[in-house]
Structure 1
Amino acid sequence: MANHKSALKRIRSNRVKQLRNKYQHKTTRNAVRDLRAATEKKDAADLYPKVVAMLDKLAKNNVIHKNKANNLKSKLAKHVAAL
């Protein structure tokens, strides 16, 4: 158990950040899944910029690695172009 007031606060703030990161990561994964499932080019083209922004935000906040974000964006761009 933490002995200092600042350590207790750090534990609380880390938990809040963990929950926020978990929510954003799961939301982004669901958006990627929805984009991959899209069969209409117009729907996929509308959804693509939003998903890219979500991936960039996760990479900026170190929730996922920047290379993983770039790989996902590249694969999704190929998918949208192939529709």
Structure 2
Amino acid sequence: MEFIYKEGLLVNGYERARNLINEGKLDEARDVADYCIAVIATERFENDATAEDTLDGVRIGLWLERFWINILEKNGLML
């Protein structure tokens, strides 16, 4: 099955995760961040994307940094 990225998914996911953190819904924020990281991994695996390629106009490497560091690590959400 071919993976086709839906434009805006990561932008919306990042905003949603940040809002959930502000609302104190940390488990939900972790789930959103994990889902977005899985989407990035699928894009990289199935479509041979590199960290320098872009999704929603942002480098994939920067998306990973945003979700892993800004959402998960800085908020103590790493499992």
* Inter-CA distance 58–48: structure 2 relative to 1 (3 Å threshold): same
Q: Greater Rg, structure 1 or structure 2? A: 1
Residue identity opposite 1:76 in structure 2: I
Q: State the percentage of identical aligned residues.
A: 8
> CA RMSD, aligned part only?
2.9
Which one has the bigger strand percentage? 2
Aligned pair count reads 60
Determine if the alignment matches structure 1 residue 40 to structure 2 residue 23: yes
TM-score of the pair, normalised by structure 2: 0.51
Are the equivalent residues in 1 in contact too, given 2:33–2:71 (CA < 8 A)? no
Cα displacement (A) at 1:68: 2.7
Counterpart of 1:76 in structure 2 is: 71
Where does structure 2 lack aligned partners over 5 or more consecutive residues? 52-59
TM-score of the pair, normalised by structure 1: 0.49
Counterpart of 1:28 in structure 2 is: 10
Cα displacement (A) at 1:30: 0.2
Cα displacement (A) at 1:27: 1.7
Between stretches 61-70 and 50-59, larger displacement belongs to 61-70
